[in-house]
Amino acid sequence: MQDPYLTLGVARDATDDNIHQAYLTAIRCCPAEQDPEVFQSIRTAYESIRTKKARLEYALFNTDLPTPADLLERLAKGSQPRRPGLDLFRELLRAGPRLDEK
């Protein structure tokens, strides 16, 4: 799957409104009748990052794992591979439904 932020042309720190506006602009430029595959990729990208909770899930579960060559290059430079932190997981849990709510 292609990076949804690149597909919609938004920054990773974009707000819900910015993402929604980018989605509307993208589907106006490429309607479903013109190119169904591109339209579907735009729609999939929007669905995967349209809310804060969806963006957190994307950040946690859809991160690209580095290749062995990338790991070797990072080790040679002395940097560690970037992984989503525990804070993102905690925020995702807070954003979800509470057990005591009915």
21 in a structural domain: yes
Total tally of structural domains belonging to the chain = 1
Chain segment 59-89, per-residue pLDDT in tens: 877 755 555 666 667 667 765 555 556 666 6
To the nearest whole percent, how much of the chain has pLDDT over 90? 27
102 in a structural domain: no
What is the domain-level CATH number for residue 30? 1.10.287.110
> Would you say the pTM of this structure is higher than 0.85?
no
Write out the residue range of the structural domain in which residue 61 sits.
Answer: 4-95
How would residue 102 be classed by pLDDT, with cut points 50, 70 and 90? Answer: very low
> How far is the C-alpha of 70 from the C-alpha of 63, rounded, in Å?
14
100 in a structural domain: no
